[in-house]
Chains A and B, each alone.
Chain A
Amino acid sequence: MTVKPYVRAVPRYTWFLAHSRYLRYITREVTCVFIGAYAFLMLVGLKRLAEGREAWEAFVQALASPASLVFHVAVLAFALYHTTSWFNVTPKAMPIQLGDGFVPGRVIVGAHYAIWIVLSLAVLILAGVF
């Protein structure tokens, strides 16, 4: 080639603002920060529990503060978005072929939701909620 083609640069740090589907993707990726933060909080709780009754009760009391409630609501929202956005793409990654056809995607997604509900109920029962 004798003449130089023109290369359009992709903005390295702001590319995801270019399209709504990129924003949706970045939101899904960011949710893991909140999931991680909550897992860390659980670890702190476990440590407090190991430290004895007083430490545990102080921890539980701290959980009832307004800041903690705001944090929990935010984490719940992000965790729900995280879960649903990943569940909804499972048929792409794990198609199941039965003979000449594929199991409909909604069945695979549905199975994930069903297992999620069953496991959540099991945890709630173990925690003595019912």
Chain B
Amino acid sequence: MSQRLVELEVLRFNPETDAEPTFQRYAVECPEEWVVLDALNHIKETVDPTLSYRWSCHMAVCGSCGMMINGEPKLSCKSFLRDYEGVIRVEPLAHFPIQRDLVTVIDDFVTKLKRVKPYLVAGEARPVEAGEYRQTPAQLKTYKQYTLCINCMLCYAACPEYGLEPKFIGPAAISLAHRYNLDSRDAGREARQQEIAATEGVWECSFVGACSEVCPEHVDPAGALQQVKIKSTLDWFREHLMPWRRT
């Protein structure tokens, strides 16, 4: 395994002592095969145990290790050192308040996620004897892509609209709402529309497309949001031009 001296410039912030964050430089010997998260773990174990950051799975599944790496929102467990030259700048995810070092306050996202009811809302109660809810492969395919979201929030860090207007419900939450709206077993669309078809919902999006470019799971949130816009517009026309179709 070839080793390399890796220099990391990490944004540090201690809320008890610091007025604002400052960069700290670390230099550690790392194998080329390592990811940025490995380097951070190595620093924490051998150089500076006070360095704080979130991670869990180390396999791009849990979505907790999101950081800005050289200004780009990335999963640090999926960012290989061999893909970077020179000093690697590591900062907490943009647009979220910094709690400590690379740890951000994510309450805003969690609250928004709850608001869009990201779960199946049953239409009418079915007795257990009626058996399972069946779905064809085609019905599954309709929403499958949007189930891949791991709630890593990279899309919020990439979205300039969220940076400028923090009330925006944002890419991941709206994409998940869309995922359940598209599900043939679900009947919760109307309740979700209250949140996502509003000004703070999908109409805050101006289709920058940054969310889809950074999404590590290729969910394509930008696509989901445009589809919600089109469907909401059709709802409006149906309601105003075809009153007899109102249910």
Interface residue ranges, A against B (CB under 8 Å): 1, 3-8, 10, 12, 15-16, 18-19, 21-22, 25, 29, 89, 91-95, 97, 99-102
Q: Are A10 and B164 in contact (CB under 8 A)?
A: yes
Check: B31 CB closer than 8 A to any chain A CB: no
B208: which A residues are within 8 A, CB to CB?
21-22, 25
Q: A22's contact among B210, B223, B229, by CB below 8 Å, is which?
A: B210
Contact A10 B163 (CB under 8 A): yes
A25 contact set on B, CB distance < 8 A: 160, 206, 208-210
**Which residue of the partner chain B has the closest CB to A7?**
B97
Cβ-defined contact, B71 with A89, below 8 A: no
Least CB distance, B90 to chain A, in whole angstroms: 15
Check if A93 sits within 8 Å of B160, measured CB to CB. no
Task: Name 25 A/B residue pairs within 8 A (Cβ), A-sorted.
Answer: A3-B16, A5-B97, A5-B98, A6-B13, A6-B21, A7-B98, A8-B94, A10-B160, A10-B164, A12-B164, A15-B160, A15-B163, A15-B164, A19-B71, A22-B160, A22-B210, A25-B160, A29-B206, A89-B209, A89-B222, A92-B209, A95-B227, A97-B141, A99-B138, A100-B137
- Give residues 147-206 of B contacting A (CB, 8 Å): 160, 163-164, 206
Number of chain B residues whose Cβ lies closer than 8 Å to a Cβ of chain A: 35
Contact B141 A92 (CB under 8 A): no
Residue pair A93, B95 in contact (C-beta under 8 Å): no
Q: How would residues 91 to 128 of chain B score, 1 for a CB under 8 Å from any chain A CB and 0 otherwise?
A: 00011011100001100000000000000000000000
Assembled-state Cα–Cα distance A85/B94 (Å): 27
CB-based contact A100/B138 at 8 Å: yes
Q: In the complex, which of the residues B16, B212, B226 has the most CB atoms of chain A within 10 Å of its own CB atom?
A: B226
B138 and A6 contacting across the interface, CB-CB below 8 Å = no
Q: Give bound CA distance, A83 to B95, whole Å.
A: 31
Bound CA span A99–B136, Å: 10
**Does B3 touch A at the CB level, under 8 Å?**
no
Instruction: Give bound CA distance, A95 to B210, whole Å.
Output: 19
Residues of A within 8 A of B226 (CB): 89, 92-93
**A6 to B97 CA separation, bound complex (whole angstroms):** 5
Query: Is B1 positioned at the interface, with any CB of A under 8 Å from its CB?
Result: no
- Would you list the 6 A-B pairs with minimal beta carbon distance, nearest first? A92-B223, A93-B226, A5-B97, A3-B15, A10-B163, A6-B98
Contact between A16 and B160, CB atoms less than 8 A apart? yes
Minimal Cβ-Cβ distance residue in A for B71: A19
Closest to B21 in A: A6
Contacts of B213 in A (CB 8 A): 21
* B130 contacts partner chain A, Cβ-Cβ < 8 Å: no
Residues on B with C-beta less than 8 A from A1 are 99, 105
**Taking CB as reference atom, which chain B residue is nearest A10?**
B163
Query: With an 8 A cutoff between CB atoms, is B142 at the interface?
Result: yes
